[in-house]
Structure 1
Amino acid sequence: MAPPRKRRTGHSKKAQFSAFTGYLVAGIGALIGAGLLALSAWKPEAMASLRAEATDVVEPAGRAGAEVRSDSQGLIQAIAGYFDAGNKNARLQREVEEAHVHLAEAKAIEAENQRLKALLGLREEEVKPVAYARLIGSSSASTRRFAYLSAGRDSGVKPGMPVRSPMGLVGRVLEAGDSSARVMLLTDTASMVPVRRSTDNVIAFAEGRADGSLRLRLINLGINPLKKGDVFVTSGAGGIFRPGIAVAVVEKVTNDGAVGLPLANPAATIHVAVDPVWVPQAAAVIAQPAPGGPQ
């Protein structure tokens, strides 16, 4: 016969003893708890040591939980910061590119202002220019060097007049129209300018070589006193160019003089001044271009 499904504790002394022990322990625990509660209410300071010990016991678990929370928050912040940094970097990149553009524009404006100030400085000199203009083009021929001026007879420009920039002599007017003129540059093969060394009276002629340089040919042959870096200016001989206009700097010394570079580079020149002929009488005897010269 099968045993009954439910058995009462009264049928087992061991089960009864276990139940009694459980009730007894629970009762004792309740009494201890009530006593501790009454003690904490009566003398709170008496429980301070117990609370401190309890805190010490649970401190490792609390620290571990705090570290987990801190790490999780740091991870979230790192992910958010990564995406935010990407957006900031893109924005900063755009701002840097815009700043580069604005800087280039500012430098261009500064350079233009410097050229205009230099041009204004020409007005303060003793010789009053006939006209101020721009170089608007140049010839394409390889053996001749010409430029075109945005001023002509309407502005008082006439053949033979010197053309200079703030850096020095550019050339002289060859032909003049009503509103434009053609300028023969210093480097043209038909150009010849009387010059002297700026530090003394070493006299020479600056002749164009059609390759962007000048041949400085000394008048007095003998020991060549020139050295690299010497600056030559107009001497005033011939009456066309007034004395003291910068012309060239010595680049290479030769047997009879030197090879120089013009100080006023037409390719980098925009604003120029047209001066009157230094000695008015010289304008009537300006030599015409040699055969084979500009037509």
Structure 2
Amino acid sequence: MAPPRNHRPGFSRRAQYTVFAGYVLAASGALVGAILLLISIIDPRAFSALRGAMREATTPISSGADWVWDGVASVPAGIGDYFGAVSENRRLRAREEATRRYLMQARLLNRENARLRTLLALRDRSAAPVITARLVNSSASSTRRFATLNAGSRQGVMRGQPVRGPNGLIGRIVETSPNTASVLLIIDPESIVPVRRTRDGLSAIVAGVGNGMVEVRTAGVVNAPLLAGDVFVTSGTGGIYPPGVPVARVSRSQRDVAPARVFAEPDGLDFALVERAFLPAPVPRPTPSATPTPTPAAE
């Protein structure tokens, strides 16, 4: 026969002790409550002090429990804030990258605008320019330095005309075809440009050396100092280049001959202005025809 499911408390001594302890705690709680009630009625001040002592004893426990609860409750919010900060950081980085691209484009447009304005002002200042054309290529791998212009004899380009850019002199036309022209750059070893120094008018010539640089050589003055930073412009001598066009700046101080860097770097140019020669070639005089010798009349 199966034992009954429910036993009386007397079946187990442990159960008896548990029941007895419950009764004792209940009676003690009722007695303490009655005592506190009597104290609050008879002496409210003593009860108030006792209540303050209870608050002092339980406040640290309550504060610790609240701190633990706040920490546990803030874990989900902290995780959400972390992932939110990560996504916000990514979004800000993407915006910064887009802003950097826009800033770079704005700088390029500003630089191109300034260059075109300079070229337009140069065209306005130049006396009867022939045409503004594009430099389509240059011979950078050879000791000879030429550039090709996408304008030729059909556009009025002729041999001997100077070519200049927004920053200075580029070279001169040496060969033409109907729609193209070959430009001898001033950095070519065969190029010689008469110049003068801006600060004192010292006469010199600028000759190319074939490596992207030029040499400034004094003319008519012996042992003349050429200082770094001296600027040389065309003098107009020779009748090809108009005076006052920037040509080169001395890069190292020397005497008589000094290296210099040109203002118009051909590798960084795209548009150029073709001008008429400063002094046009003299028109040859017609050869007078021979006067026939009169024959004497027959008698």
Note whether the superposition's TM-score is higher than 0.5: yes
Residue type at the aligned position of 1:154: R
Shift, 1:64, TM fit = 1.1
* Cα gap change, 1:35 to 1:193, in 2 (>3 Å): same
Which residue is equivalent to 1:83? 83
C-alpha separation between the residues in 2 aligned to 1:97 and 1:179? 44
Which residue is equivalent to 1:74? 74
Shift, 1:32, TM fit = 4.9
TM-score by length of 1: 0.77
SS at match of 1:184: strand
The answer to whether the aligner puts 1:180 opposite 2:173 as a matched pair is: no
Shift, 1:124, TM fit = 3.1
How do 1:52-71 and structure 2 match up within 5 A? 52-71=52-71
Which residue is equivalent to 2:109? 109
Which residue is equivalent to 1:150? 150
Which residue is equivalent to 2:168? 168
Percent of aligned pairs with the same residue? 35
Residue type at the aligned position of 1:120: L
Q: Is the 8 A contact 2:225 2:255 kept in 1?
A: no
Residue type at the aligned position of 2:83: F
Which residue is equivalent to 2:134? 134
Gaps spanning 5+ residues in structure 1: where? 8-19, 285-295
SS at match of 1:122: helix
* Alignment: residue pair count: 266
C-alpha separation between the residues in 1 aligned to 2:241 and 2:177? 22
Q: Is the 8 A contact 2:123 2:273 kept in 1?
A: no
SS at match of 1:204: strand
Question: 91-100 vs 264-273, which deviates more?
Answer: 91-100
Shift, 1:133, TM fit = 1.7
* Cα gap change, 1:58 to 1:157, in 2 (>3 Å): same
Residue type at the aligned position of 2:188: D
Question: 150-159 vs 263-272, which deviates more?
Answer: 150-159
C-alpha separation between the residues in 1 aligned to 2:86 and 2:161? 64
| Runs ≥4 residues deviating over 6 A | 20-27, 44-47
Question: 78-87 vs 64-73, which deviates more?
Answer: 78-87
Question: 258-267 vs 100-109, which deviates more?
Answer: 100-109
How do 1:181-196 and structure 2 match up within 5 A? 181-196=181-196
Q: CA RMSD in A?
A: 3.3
